[in-house]
Chains A and B, each alone.
Chain A
Amino acid sequence: MAKYEKILFKNMEQPGYVGSLKEYEHLGGYQALRTVFAGMAPADIIETVKQSGLRGRGGAGFPTGVKWSFIPKDHPGPKYLCCNADESEPGTFKDRQLMERDPHQVLEGMAITCYTIGAETAYIYIRGEFWLGAQILERAIEDAKQAGYLGSDVLGSGKTINIYVHRGAGAYICGEETALLESLEGKRGKPRFKPPFPATHGLYQKPTVVNNVETLANIPHIMNRGAEWFAAIGEPPKGSGTRIFCLSGHVKRPGNYEVPMGVTFREMIYEVGGGMRSNTPLKAFIPGGASAPFLTPEHLDVKMDFESVAKAGSMLGSGGITVMEEGTNMVWAALRLMEFFYHESCGKCTPCREGSSWLVQTMQRIWRREGRTSDLDLLLDLCKSIEGRTVCAFGEAEVSPIVSTMRHWRSEYEELIREAEASRPNSKQEIPVLSQA
Chain B
Amino acid sequence: MIFDKLKDEVEKLLSRYPVKRSALLPLLYIAQREEGYVSEPAMKEIAMLLDLTPSQVYETVTFYSMYNLKPIGKYHIQVCRSLMCALVGSDNVVEWIHKKLEITPGQTSSDKNFTLSVVECLGSCGTGPMMQVNDDYYERLTEEKVGHILDELKQKGSSSMKSGPFMFPQLAK
- Interface-located stretch among A45-53, A59-67, A337-345, A380-388: A337-345
* Any A CB within 8 A of the CB of B149: no
| Contact indicator B66/A90 (Cβ below 8 Å) | no
Q: Which of A33-41, A162-170, A390-398, A408-416 contacts B (4 or more CB under 8 A)?
A: A162-170
Which residues of the partner chain B approach A133 to less than 8 Å between Cβ atoms?
166
Question: How far, in angstroms, from A73 to B163 measured CA to CA in the complex?
Answer: 44
Residue contact B120 to A343, C-beta cutoff 8 Å: yes
- Tell whether A88 is near chain B: CB-to-CB under 8 Å: yes
Nearest B residue to A342, CB-CB: B120
> Which residue of A18, A95, A96, A100 has the most chain B CB atoms within 10 A of its CB atom?
A96
Q: Which residues of A contact B136 (CB under 8 A)?
A: 131-132
Name which residue of chain B comes closest to A335, CB basis: B83
Contact A92 B125 (CB under 8 A): yes
| Cβ-neighbour of B25 out of A15, A96, A186, A344 (below 8 A) | A186
- In the complex, the answer to whether B165 meets A136 with C-beta atoms within 8 Å is yes
Whether a CB of chain A sits under 8 angstroms from the CB of B108 is: no
Taking the complex as formed, is B6 at the interface, i.e. its CB lies under 8 A from any CB of chain A? no
Output the least CB separation between B48 and chain A (Å). Answer: 15
- Cα distance, A290 to B64, chains bound together (Å): 21
Bound: A246/B125 CA distance, A: 8
- The 0/1 profile, CB within 8 Å of A marked 1, for residues 67-87 of chain B is 100000000000001111011
Chain B's interface: helix, strand, loop or mixed, by majority? loop
- Kindly state the interface size class of chain A when it binds its partner: 35 or more
Q: Are A336 and B82 in contact (CB under 8 A)?
A: yes
- Inter-chain residue pair count (beta carbon < 8 A): 165
Does B59 touch A at the CB level, under 8 Å? yes
> A324–B84 Cα gap in the complex (Å)?
9
The verdict on A90 contacting B125 (CB below 8 Å), with A101-B165, A185-B21, A324-B87 known, is: yes
Q: Is the CB of A171 within 8 A of B18?
A: no
In the complex, whether B41 has a CB less than 8 A from a CB of chain A is no
Pick the contact of B126 from A167, A171, A247 — CB < 8 Å?
Answer: A247
Q: Say yes or no for B160: interface residue by CB 8 A criterion.
A: no
Min CB–CB distance A60 → chain B (angstroms):
19
Q: Does B7 contact A (CB under 8 A)?
A: no
Complex: chain A residue closest to B87, CB-CB: A249
The 6 closest A-B pairs by CB, nearest first: A170-B65, A186-B24, A169-B64, A186-B21, A170-B66, A254-B126
Specify which chain A residues have a CB less than 8 angstroms from the CB of B26 in the assembled complex.
Answer: 166-167
In the complex the two chains form, what is the Cα distance from A322 to B125 in whole Å? Answer: 9
Q: Smallest CB–CB gap between B137 and chain A, Å?
A: 7
* Cβ contacts under 8 Å, A95 to chain B: 123
Contact between chains at A90 and B126 (CB < 8 Å): no
Which residues of the partner chain A approach B67 to less than 8 Å between Cβ atoms? 169
Residues of B within 8 A of A128 (CB): 29, 64, 66
Asked if A127 CB lies within 8 Å of chain B CBs, one says yes
Instruction: Provide the bound-state CA to CA distance between A113 and B13, in Å.
Output: 24
Closest beta carbon of chain A to B122's beta carbon, Å: 5
Name which residue of chain A comes closest to B164, CB basis: A132
Chain B, Cβ-Cβ closest to A250: B87
The answer to whether A254 and B127 touch across the interface, beta carbons within 8 angstroms, is yes
How far apart sit A283 and B87, CA to CA, in the bound complex (Å)? Answer: 13
Check A4 for interface membership: any CB of B closer than 8 A: no
Q: Which residue of B is nearest A171, CB measured?
A: B64
Residues of B within 8 A of A322 (CB): 83-84, 87, 125
If A186-B24, A246-B126, A248-B126 touch, does A340 touch B120 (CB 8 Å cutoff)? yes
Q: Which residue of A lies closest to B65 (CB)?
A: A170
CA gap between A24 and B86 in the complex, in Å: 37
In the bound complex, how far is the Cα of B33 from the Cα of A128, in angstroms?
13
A15 x B86 contact (CB < 8 A): no
